[in-house]
């Protein structure tokens, strides 16, 4: 992409009401535009980051045999009333709206009820199970406060996966596969080392759920971890009963703040029972389907990564999700000519700063935008037949022969 050809510019100022570092930097660097607290537009660079995150998740889930769907935001109350969750007392973050032809609708904050309802058309026999269905879908949550940039959205993008099983063993075995997939996903996203599977509170059918928590100073959660991070607990379950339960009573735990980037849950019959999702077993008995659900916040992960790796100069993207791998600058007539040659046919990898502005301004924008490698070609580097490549993360520069790039 040529910077001269895009409408996006870096901005000196973030929106006045933007309190979160990720929101301010992503706005200034031209990735997002704030519509209101918790609701952001994605600009061309922001779309690229979102799509890169989605693609990593998609590849890992498809490898497990998961299938992609896209469900509606508008929700009929009916299935939600069967589980009691249409009530504003029960679920306090609904956006609701009135249908012109009569009746109240909700905007889906999650999709357990409609997907269970839908699956009644597709699950009849044990032969139809197991099934794994996911979507990347815009969720709406009527948060009272949304001051954390992309980390807490009123309208945000989430991956939600639902699994359907004939037995608890099959659910347990798939749940483990998703745990492994999540480990790979967070590693590929560049936050593997700082993201922990964390015990959190469960529900009617399961004592615990698991959250994926990324260590972060401004994270909204507090977690406790042992020395090798093999046992990590959310504050809500950090008590004697749970420590005893997990066999870690007396072990020393350290406290830190973290941001939740995923949540996986053995639902078992929680939704399939009230909604009547049944199958006929091999013995021709009518049985209730076992379920699991597995969330991962796509736009939240983008916010967490922006927040976590940023330095005083701006954003620092992991290569795997950066909108472009290289930020290219040509200096002087020859430098520009060679830069044009390098750019040709590599438009997907290179953000080419071909604007008619001073090199200093280009360097500052390269840093603010957080592109992993800045490539500068000038008379000085050409004297060595080279380009200077600077690593955004470490700041280290080296000359690389043009023929080797």
Tell me whether residue 36 or residue 251 sits nearer to a copy of itself (CB atom): 36
Tell me whether residue 46 or residue 262 sits nearer to a copy of itself (CB atom): 46
Tell me whether residue 76 or residue 206 sits nearer to a copy of itself (CB atom): 76
| Helix, strand or coil, per DSSP, at residue 375 | strand
Q: Are 237 and 208 in contact (CB under 8 A)?
A: yes
| Distance of alpha carbon 54 from alpha carbon 399, whole angstroms | 34
Shortest CB 293 distance to a copy of itself, Å: 16
Shortest CB 346 distance to a copy of itself, Å: 16
Of 287, 292, 268, the closest CA to residue 126 belongs to 287
Tell me whether residue 223 or residue 301 sits nearer to a copy of itself (CB atom): 301
Q: How many CB atoms lie within 10 A of CB 279?
A: 22
| Distance of alpha carbon 56 from alpha carbon 185, whole angstroms | 7
Q: Are 329 and 363 in contact (CB under 8 A)?
A: yes
The binding site for a copy of itself (CB under 8 A) comprises 5-9, 11, 33, 35-36, 39-44, 46-47, 50, 65, 67-76, 92-93, 95-101, 105, 107, 114, 118-119, 121-123, 128, 131, 133, 138, 140, 142-145, 154-155
| Distance of alpha carbon 110 from alpha carbon 85, whole angstroms | 11
Tell me whether residue 60 or residue 155 sits nearer to a copy of itself (CB atom): 155
Q: Where are the alpha helices (DSSP H) in 265-313?
A: 272-275, 298-309
Tell me whether residue 92 or residue 379 sits nearer to a copy of itself (CB atom): 92
Shortest CB 366 distance to a copy of itself, Å: 19
Tell me whether residue 100 or residue 383 sits nearer to a copy of itself (CB atom): 100
Shortest CB 88 distance to a copy of itself, Å: 10
| Distance of alpha carbon 299 from alpha carbon 317, whole angstroms | 14
| Helix, strand or coil, per DSSP, at residue 230 | coil
Q: How many CB atoms lie within 10 A of CB 284?
A: 8
Shortest CB 30 distance to a copy of itself, Å: 9
| Residue 214, beta-bridge partner list | 195, 259
- Which long-range CB contacts under 8 A does 78-87 form with residues at least 24 apart? 79/113, 79/114, 79/116, 79/117, 79/275, 80/106, 80/113, 82/113, 82/274, 82/275, 83/112, 83/113, 83/270, 83/271, 83/274, 83/275, 84/274, 85/113
Burial class (CB in 10 A: 0-12, 13-18, 19+), 89: exposed
| Distance of alpha carbon 339 from alpha carbon 352, whole angstroms | 8
Tell me whether residue 99 or residue 344 sits nearer to a copy of itself (CB atom): 99
Shortest CB 11 distance to a copy of itself, Å: 7
Shortest CB 264 distance to a copy of itself, Å: 20
Tell me whether residue 120 or residue 187 sits nearer to a copy of itself (CB atom): 120
Tell me whether residue 68 or residue 311 sits nearer to a copy of itself (CB atom): 68
Shortest CB 334 distance to a copy of itself, Å: 26
Shortest CB 322 distance to a copy of itself, Å: 18
Q: Torsion over CA of 305, 308, 309 and 311, rounded to 10 degrees?
A: 130
| Distance of alpha carbon 381 from alpha carbon 390, whole angstroms | 13
Shortest CB 65 distance to a copy of itself, Å: 7
């Amino acid at each position: 992409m040529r910077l001269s050809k895009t409408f996006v510019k870096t901005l000196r100022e973030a929106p006045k009401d933007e309190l979160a570092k990720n929101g301010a930097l992503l706005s200034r660097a031209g990735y997002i535009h704030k519509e209101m607290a918790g609701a952001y537009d994605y600009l061309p660079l922001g779309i690229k980051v979102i799509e890169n995150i989605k693609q990593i998740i998609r590849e890992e889930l498809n490898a497990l045999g998961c299938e992609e769907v896209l469900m509606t935001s508008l929700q009929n109350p009916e299935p939600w009333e069967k589980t009691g969750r249409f009530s504003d007392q029960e679920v306090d973050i609904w956006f609701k709206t009135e249908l012109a032809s009569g009746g109240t609708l909700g905007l889906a904050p999650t999709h357990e009820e409609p997907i269970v309802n839908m699956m009644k058309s597709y699950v009849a026999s044990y032969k139809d199970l197991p099934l794994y269905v996911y979507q990347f879908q815009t969720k709406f949550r009527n948060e009272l406060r949304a001051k954390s940039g992309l980390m807490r959205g009123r309208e945000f993008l989430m991956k939600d996966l639902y699994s359907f099983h004939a037995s608890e063993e099959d659910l347990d075995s798939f749940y483990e596969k998703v745990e492994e997939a999540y480990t790979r996903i967070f590693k590929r996203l560049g936050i593997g080392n700082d993201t922990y599977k964390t015990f959190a509170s469960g529900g009617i059918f399961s004592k615990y759920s698991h959250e994926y928590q990324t260590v972060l100073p401004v994270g909204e959660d507090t977690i406790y971890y042992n020395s090798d991070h093999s046992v990590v607990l959310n504050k809500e379950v950090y008590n004697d009963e749970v420590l005893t339960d997990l066999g870690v009573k007396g072990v020393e735990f350290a406290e830190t703040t973290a941001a939740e980037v995923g949540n996986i849950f053995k639902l078992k019959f929680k939704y399939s029972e009230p909604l009547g999702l049944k199958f006929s077993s091999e013995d021709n008995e009518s049985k209730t389907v076992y379920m699991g659900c597995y969330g991962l916040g796509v736009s939240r992960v983008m916010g967490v990564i922006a927040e976590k790796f940023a330095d005083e100069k701006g954003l620092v993207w992991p290569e795997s999700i950066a909108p472009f791998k290289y930020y290219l600058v040509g200096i002087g007539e020859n430098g520009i000519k060679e830069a044009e040659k390098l750019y040709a046919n590599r438009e997907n990898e290179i953000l080419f700063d071909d604007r008619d502005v001073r090199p200093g301004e280009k360097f500052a924008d390269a840093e603010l935008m957080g592109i992993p490698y800045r490539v500068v070609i000038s008379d000085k580097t050409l004297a060595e037949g080279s380009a200077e490549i600077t690593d955004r993360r470490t700041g280290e520069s080296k000359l690389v022969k043009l023929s080797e790039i």
